[in-house]
Chain A
């Protein structure tokens, strides 16, 4: 007669949940070691406290009630002070996440708290992955997924063992003997089912790979019809038609338009003059770009990542990398003519070589980064007729600004 396998009791399921929660919290917190975020104190505290509380869960039960009452107000206060003093939202949010995660890992958890722990850990893993773009992210997210699914399974099973209600606790769960628990888990597991679960997880990874390749990468601004239905109103002043009534909105918009990284800071002029759009026609209600000027723009027939222009040549090897925010304008900020302008992906670019202007086909819906080489920085357009009478002093002879990147 086949002997039926034993089953984990509610207490053992809670102990397993406690172990898995601590493991997930610790590993997700450790992913921050890859990031340059000033959170060493919080990381050190988590590294110390979480293993101790995980292996001796009675410490969590021994925490006084005022600790739980004060925890949330204290964390929020620290977050507010952090945000106020550093004025860096993302690092402050990461530190907030670490504090919340630490609290969740050391305090007793029910179903809701376990879900919160998973969510907090997911935030850390994803943020770290996005900002580090490290190959280790794949391993981190796979481990996190597997451990989280095991924790969720344990939560579901313990709820079922508790008679269908969300089990918040089980009397005596904190008195755990880890060796006995793991031995019992080993006897409970059916190796064939474990193998099947492994195969299913491999299937999940394979399906994720297929989905990753199959998910369409849509350029929202180019393909969504809604974009064409929305009435455009200038908020930045860098559109082709600016009306007088819009000036208030323009002056109130203080958000960052673009950031520039220069390979040679010494090449930055002391008073850089950024050229974007020229409004040369008065319409009665405001200024706009004249039809003649619009027609002077020449566009290439196909999208390419690299575009040539009329700029400096020779020994100027300065590379200007511009991070251009979305929603500003379709005209690219440039100091003058350029010899080479390259994008990360193919773009349609129209240029007015006479005015040293360049514009994308439409206003980008996401941040666009481009590299400019051989860019004129004198800020002067030489007019042949004007030059007949007067000699224009080159701006290059002006004082240079101290090294550093520029923002507008």
Chain B
């Protein structure tokens, strides 16, 4: 009964997909570790257990530390002295030293037994910004706690070792935060390389190799840009006043639960405090003139890589800002099919495309723009000077970065 309650409590705190034998949840990798694999095997046979002790699975390494080497050297010295003198006292000492090594190995194995881990890598990932990767741990043992684990994590070229500083009680779970700063846009490998421990006496360094990881898309970095009002391109053209759909600039219509991507400025703090979860305000949308953001990645135009990177960051920032203002109706990149923007997910798809975009030789322009019903007012991203970029609307510069 107690165990059931404990499990329920653990599930409640860890959320969906929290059990190590379940499949991965969104934004999470699958569970890995001795507990997860043993539950998948269903039956832990003594024969396989003994065989695993004699012939450890691939990736498991046990290496002596300096302390362990010292202990082995002392054992060898005492053993040599014991054989030279045939002294039983020395044989007793040698036996105790060897037994301590065996005990160290057994406790090290017990420490890692029934432990499972997974990564939580949910975004959004943006170049130049720090994103927290969560490493969730579960101790499935019934009696013994787990101590002193370390985790070798890598993101791209950088790697870091995180330590479990506190005790992980039996049946309990915990989460280690790993701040990762993505340096550039593109695909980023977030991986857990190995899990290890010096527990219990520091004689042996036990490490379990891991191939747990995920590939995340890093969006272009946000940049500061300047709007130019002289072209009057940003003017708000009201059609019939406010329209009957949700937006972000009209009157307050309702409250809804916070979802990732919502602006913190929309959080309704009083309602959040009352309901104990984040609530955001929903406004009615205003009828405004929209734009289509268009980016041509012609390598002949974008000759400087840093300028191209700036253009992508500018496009990403502009797209988010226009969406927030309810003025982004579509996006268009080269010859790819134009994308009608109706919700936040559409903007994220656009940012995903920007994350992997490279200059193309002679890209063809899309012929479907008119057919999709996009607004005719296209906001083109073009180079300005040697380093800058500009958003051009109707032949006029509306913003620069």
User: Contact at A115–B96, with CB atoms within 8 Å?
Assistant: no
A156 at the interface (CB under 8 A from B): yes
User: Contact at B167–A156, with CB atoms within 8 Å?
Assistant: no
Count, chain B residues at interface, CB 8 A = 48
What chain B residues lie within 8 Å of A153 (beta carbons)? 200-201
User: Contact at B100–A145, with CB atoms within 8 Å?
Assistant: yes
What chain B residues lie within 8 Å of A211 (beta carbons)? 94-95, 98-99
User: Contact at B143–A193, with CB atoms within 8 Å?
Assistant: yes
* Residues A149 and B201 in contact in the complex (CB < 8 Å), given A130-B87, A200-B103, A204-B99: yes
Residue of B67, B95, B144 contacting most chain A CB atoms (<10 Å)? B95
B51 at the interface (CB under 8 A from A): no
User: Contact at B70–A119, with CB atoms within 8 Å?
Assistant: yes
User: Contact at B143–A5, with CB atoms within 8 Å?
Assistant: no
* Residues A160 and B148 in contact in the complex (CB < 8 Å), given A130-B89, A149-B100: yes
Q: Smallest CB–CB gap between B219 and chain A, Å? A: 32
In Å, the complex CA distance between A153 and B106 comes to 14
Binds A, one of B78-86, B235-243, B266-274, B279-287: B78-86
User: Contact at A129–B93, with CB atoms within 8 Å?
Assistant: yes
User: Contact at B201–A7, with CB atoms within 8 Å?
Assistant: no
A387 at the interface (CB under 8 A from B): no
In Å, the complex CA distance between A178 and B170 comes to 29
User: Contact at A141–B201, with CB atoms within 8 Å?
Assistant: no
Q: Smallest CB–CB gap between A185 and chain B, Å? A: 14
Name the one of A7, A115, A365 contacting B166, with C-beta atoms under 8 angstroms: A7
Count, chain A residues at interface, CB 8 A = 48
Binds B, one of A42-50, A89-97, A215-223, A333-341: A215-223
Q: Smallest CB–CB gap between B240 and chain A, Å? A: 57
B362 at the interface (CB under 8 A from A): no
B198 at the interface (CB under 8 A from A): yes
* Residues A192 and B202 in contact in the complex (CB < 8 Å), given A149-B100, A366-B84: no
Mark contacts of A100-129 with chain B using CB atoms, 8 A cut-off: 1 yes-contact digit, 0 otherwise.
000000000000000100010010001001
B9 at the interface (CB under 8 A from A): yes
Name the one of A7, A149, A192 contacting B167, with C-beta atoms under 8 angstroms: A7
B125-161 with Cβ < 8 A to chain A: 143-145, 147-148, 150, 161
User: Contact at B202–A161, with CB atoms within 8 Å?
Assistant: no
User: Contact at A159–B198, with CB atoms within 8 Å?
Assistant: yes
Q: Smallest CB–CB gap between B147 and chain A, Å? A: 6
Residue of B6, B9, B96, B198 contacting most chain A CB atoms (<10 Å)? B96
User: Contact at A156–B199, with CB atoms within 8 Å?
Assistant: yes
Interface of B: prevailing SS? helix
What chain B residues lie within 8 Å of A291 (beta carbons)? none
In Å, the complex CA distance between A196 and B110 comes to 12
A152 at the interface (CB under 8 A from B): yes
User: Contact at A208–B99, with CB atoms within 8 Å?
Assistant: yes
A267-314 with Cβ < 8 A to chain B: none
Q: Smallest CB–CB gap between B330 and chain A, Å? A: 50
Q: Smallest CB–CB gap between B6 and chain A, Å? A: 7
Q: Smallest CB–CB gap between A167 and chain B, Å? A: 11
User: Contact at A196–B167, with CB atoms within 8 Å?
Assistant: no
B100-124 with Cβ < 8 A to chain A: 100, 102-103, 106-107
User: Contact at B9–A1, with CB atoms within 8 Å?
Assistant: yes
* Residues A156 and B200 in contact in the complex (CB < 8 Å), given A207-B102, A215-B95: yes
User: Contact at A217–B92, with CB atoms within 8 Å?
Assistant: no
Name the one of A119, A190, A207 contacting B74, with C-beta atoms under 8 angstroms: A119
* Residues A200 and B143 in contact in the complex (CB < 8 Å), given A126-B78, A155-B202: no
Mark contacts of A141-159 with chain B using CB atoms, 8 A cut-off: 1 yes-contact digit, 0 otherwise.
1000100010011011101
B164 at the interface (CB under 8 A from A): yes
User: Contact at A137–B89, with CB atoms within 8 Å?
Assistant: yes
A164 at the interface (CB under 8 A from B): yes
A380 at the interface (CB under 8 A from B): no
A231 at the interface (CB under 8 A from B): no
User: Contact at B92–A208, with CB atoms within 8 Å?
Assistant: yes
In Å, the complex CA distance between A220 and B84 comes to 8
What chain B residues lie within 8 Å of A4 (beta carbons)? 169, 172
Q: Smallest CB–CB gap between A187 and chain B, Å? A: 13
What chain B residues lie within 8 Å of A81 (beta carbons)? none
Q: Smallest CB–CB gap between A344 and chain B, Å? A: 9
In Å, the complex CA distance between A212 and B88 comes to 8
In Å, the complex CA distance between A4 and B202 comes to 26
A209 at the interface (CB under 8 A from B): yes
Nearest CB in chain A to that of B202: its residue: A156
Nearest 8 Cβ contacts at the A-B interface: A160-B148, A211-B95, A152-B201, A164-B163, A208-B95, A212-B95, A129-B89, A208-B99
Residues of B within 8 A of A (CB): 2, 6, 9, 67, 70, 74, 78, 83-96, 98-100, 102-103, 106-107, 143-145, 147-148, 150, 161, 163-167, 169, 172, 198-203
- Beyond the given pairs A149-B201, A152-B201, A196-B144, 12 more chain A to chain B contacts, judged by CB atoms under 8 angstroms and listed by A's residue number, are A2-B6, A4-B169, A7-B166, A130-B89, A149-B103, A156-B201, A160-B198, A163-B163, A200-B106, A204-B96, A215-B91, A366-B86
